[in-house]
Every structure is written in C-alpha cells, then in structure tokens.
Amino acid sequence: MAENTQQRDGEEAPGPADADLTIGATTAADQTLSGYARLWWQRVRSGELGSLPIIVALVLIAIVFGLLDDAFLTERNFTNLLLQMAATAILAIGVVFVLLIGEIDLSIAYVSAVGGVVMTLLIRTDNPGWPWWLAIIAAVAVTTVIGLLQSIVITKAGVPSFVVTLAGLLIWSGVVLILMTQVTTTGTIRISDERIVGLANDFLSDTGGLILGALVVGGFAVSQALTARSRRAGGLEAKPTLIIALQVVGLAVVTFAAVYYANLDRGVPTATVILGVFLVFWSFVATRTPFGRHVYAVGGNPEAARRAGIGVDRIRIYVFMINGFMAGVGGVMLASRLRSVATSSGGGDLLLSVIAAAVIGGTSLFGGTGRVVAALLGATVIVSINSGMNLLGLPQGTRFVITGLVLLAAVLVDAVSKRARAARGLA
C-alpha cells in the first residue's frame, strides 16, 4: 500500500501543475491532434488499454496465419469469418452485459440451443407449422424467460450466478436432449425454411453492401457531429472537428475496404447486418440511457448504486433477461447457419468461445468496465484463430490449448491493467 501511494504521489504530483486547471476549462492540449495522442498514451500507460490489445492481437493473427497458410488472407476466408463470427458475437453481447454487472452466465450456450430447438420444432411443416417469424419470436421469448427465471433465483435467493448458471448449464442441456428425443431418433433435425436458413447464409448484393457501408459511415458521422454540436451549444468542450473528420475518414476506409473485399467473394453476409443492428442498439442502451448508466454503476459499486436509489436487483434481472434474449437470437442464428439443430447443439467449445470473446474484447471480469463492441472485437479474434487453426489442420487438442492460452492472456491483460489503474488511481 505504502509503495502504491508513493508511486502515485511521485507520478501524478497533484501540485501546482494541476492546481491552475479549472473544471471544464478547454485546455489547448486537448484540442490538437498531438494533444489527443498524448492523452491517449497517458490513458494507456495508466492501464486503460481500450481496444489496443485487440488490434495488436488481430495484426499478429493476420501476420502469423497469413504466413503459415495462403488461404487465410483471402476474400473467401474473409466472408467465411464474417459468417462464423455473427452468432458468437451476438451471444457475446449478452455476456458483456452480464460481465458488466460483475456476474457470469455459464448456461448461455445451452440456453441458445434451447432457443434454436424451440424455433426448429415450431416450424416443422407437419406439426405445428408456425410461420418462421412467429417461431423466432417464440424461441427468443422462451430464452428471455429462462434468463428471467435464473436471475430471480440469483437475486431473490442470493445464490451466486456462477452456481445458478452452472446448474442451468446442466438443466438446459437436458432440456435440449428431451425436446430432441421427443421428435427424432437420429439426433438431428434439418431446417428447410429458406427464410430462416437465409438469416445466416445469405449475402447482400454488391450495391447493397456499398449502401450499407455508406449508412454505417454516415450514421457515425452524423451522430458524432450532433453530439459535438449539442455540447458546443451548451458551452462545453467538444471533440474537435478535425478529430471527428479523421475518425470518419478512418472508419470509411476500413468499412469500404471490408465491403469491397467481401464483394470480391460472395458479398456482405446478412448475418453481419443483423449483428450490426444489435451492436448499435445495445451500445446505445449501454451508453446513452439511464438504464445503461445504472448497469455500469451496479457493476462498479452496488452499494453506491443502492444508495443512489437504483433498484440493484431490478437491474440484475433486466441484464439476465437481455442475456437470455441475445442467447435466443444467437441460437436462431446458429441453427440457421448449420441448417439444423442437433442433440449436440450448445455443446463443444461454444460457451468458452462466447465468454472468451467478451473478455478478450476488453470486458472486465471484475465488473463495471467494458463496452458492447467488445463482443465484436473478441469474437473476431476467437473466430480468426479458430479459422486459422482449421486451415492449418491442427489437431483438436492443440487447438484447445492455443485457444485456452489466448483466453488466459486476455484475462491477464485485464488483471494487470486493473492493478495498474488501482496503483495509480486509488488512494
């Protein structure tokens, strides 16, 4: 402790240097590009790494697998990655929320399988032959209720989410088996509905992809500009126009390069669009609404949240319902991609991939820190590594070991950066 305090005093020196900076004052340093870069570097050094480790990891993955296998950096594999990543990322969005409030959900893979199975059973043409959209709504409703049930046990009985969802893991895998064996002896049910199969297997036209890219870049530019304008109108310091412009250009370059590259192959997958819609929506909920603010507060300091009049249990229940909802969506997407559900649905390394995606993306296991987009970033890393190892034909054992090591590295980065933050920040 004493060491930490000394270090902080030495480095931050809350003396004359800080004393003349009044609150909300626009300092020249913040308004220039180099000032921004310096602030960013300060944050990184103090342990707020943001997306930096991910970008480093992705570059490394691209270089390593690109060198090892010619097929890795091809447009064919790029669209494959987009297809494979969608369900993992969708499931990881729910996990991000759960991790934000400092809880965990180990049942998510089998809950998603329940969603996929329920949908598949409802659209069977012989019986009961529900329309595809109604079956999806029913599946997602079922998984949302599962989230509700588990969260009621967690909050009302005060049982740790780890234990409740561990029981859930077993229960829902059993439910998948029971449902499947009711209707089939082969262990697999094929999905013939083209609209459901299309969700995770169709592609936008080339023009459609370009329009989508324009919408993404335009939407980002408009939202940034509006935020900056409303802050300036209120007499507050806003992000400089130059920085916004650079970010928009950067995003445009990345987006259109990706669309162009995907169009060289089959185009932008529909699944990517679905993922994008959920990412934007949940990011908005997390960062722009009182509910999102309360989620972060519950994760950061439940006692502070409680004293501020926030219904902590209510927030926990909503978060597990969001997680259940996204599990349902992910289950539908997985079933759609495989064109079937099976007794083995939800098994394998799905659970670990999803939690690993959220954590690798930068969501802290300690609660209160992380962004929704972490789901996308982490899923990209996990799926790329899996795809690379597949192409190389690595044996299953080696692949498990490597995936495990990557997860371990991500957790270590989280723990070390948290310690760095604590050493500098906490009195």
300 binds other proteins (CB under 8 A): yes
Contact of 394 with 343, CB cutoff 8 Å: no
**SS3 state of residue 20:** coil
Partners of 408 in the β-ladder: none
368 binds other proteins (CB under 8 A): yes
What is the per-residue binding string for other proteins in 11-30, x denoting contact by CB under 8 A? Answer: -x-x---xx-xxxx------
Q: Which stretch binds other proteins (CB under 8 A): 59-67, 180-188, 303-311, 329-337?
A: 303-311
What long-range pairs does 227-236 form, CB within 8 A, spacing at least 24?
236/24
Residue 369 region by backbone torsions, left for phi larger than 0, else alpha for psi between -120 and 50, else beta: beta
For residues 217 and 251, give the distance between their C-alpha atoms in angstroms, rounded to a whole number.
7
- Based on CB atoms, which residue is closest to other proteins, 196 or 312? 312
Enumerate the H helices of 101-160 as residue ranges.
Answer: 108-123, 132-156
To other proteins, the closest distance from the beta carbon of 423 in angstroms equals 11
Beta strands in 170-311 (DSSP E): 188-190
**SS3 state of residue 22:** coil
To other proteins, the closest distance from the beta carbon of 356 in angstroms equals 22
Burial (CB < 10 A; 0-12, 13-18, 19+), residue 16, is: exposed
Q: Which stretch binds other proteins (CB under 8 A): 116-124, 138-146, 225-233, 349-357?
A: 225-233
Instruction: Give the residue, chosen from 305, 341, 342, 350, that forms a contact with other proteins under the rule CB under 8 A.
Output: 305
- Based on CB atoms, which residue is closest to other proteins, 124 or 421? 421
126 binds other proteins (CB under 8 A): no
Tell me which residues in 44-83 interact with other proteins (CB under 8 A): 46
For residues 116 and 136, give the distance between their C-alpha atoms in angstroms, rounded to a whole number.
9
- Based on CB atoms, which residue is closest to other proteins, 174 or 425? 425
For residues 114 and 327, give the distance between their C-alpha atoms in angstroms, rounded to a whole number.
9
Least Cα distance to 427 among 3, 5, 2 occurs for 5
What long-range pairs does 140-144 form, CB within 8 A, spacing at least 24?
140/115, 140/325, 140/328, 140/329, 140/332, 141/328, 142/114, 142/115, 142/118, 142/328, 143/111, 143/112, 143/114, 143/115, 143/324, 143/325, 143/327, 143/328, 143/331, 144/321, 144/324, 144/325, 144/328
- Based on CB atoms, which residue is closest to other proteins, 189 or 228? 228
Please state, as a whole number, how many other Cβ atoms lie within 10 Å of the Cβ of residue 322.
22
Instruction: Give the residue, chosen from 54, 142, 154, 310, that forms a contact with other proteins under the rule CB under 8 A.
Output: 310
Instruction: Give the residue, chosen from 77, 369, 387, 403, that forms a contact with other proteins under the rule CB under 8 A.
Output: 369
- Based on CB atoms, which residue is closest to other proteins, 157 or 233? 233
Least Cα distance to 336 among 78, 122, 136, 95 occurs for 136
What is the per-residue binding string for other proteins in 319-358, x denoting contact by CB under 8 A? Answer: ----------------------------------------
393 binds other proteins (CB under 8 A): no
To other proteins, the closest distance from the beta carbon of 360 in angstroms equals 20
To other proteins, the closest distance from the beta carbon of 47 in angstroms equals 10
Q: Which stretch binds other proteins (CB under 8 A): 178-186, 275-283, 297-305, 335-343?
A: 297-305
297 binds other proteins (CB under 8 A): yes
Instruction: Give the residue, chosen from 235, 393, 395, 397, that forms a contact with other proteins under the rule CB under 8 A.
Output: 235
- Based on CB atoms, which residue is closest to other proteins, 98 or 389? 98
231 binds other proteins (CB under 8 A): yes
Place of tokens 């790329």: 384
- DSSP structural state of residue 294: H
- Based on CB atoms, which residue is closest to other proteins, 38 or 231? 231
For residues 358 and 369, give the distance between their C-alpha atoms in angstroms, rounded to a whole number.
11
Tell me which residues in 275-294 interact with other proteins (CB under 8 A): 288-290, 293-294
If binding means CB under 8 A, how many residues of this protein chain bind other proteins? 40
Would you tell me which residues interact with other proteins (CB under 8 A)? 12, 14, 18-19, 21-24, 46, 230-231, 233-236, 288-290, 293-294, 296-297, 299-301, 303-305, 307-310, 368-369, 421-422, 424-427
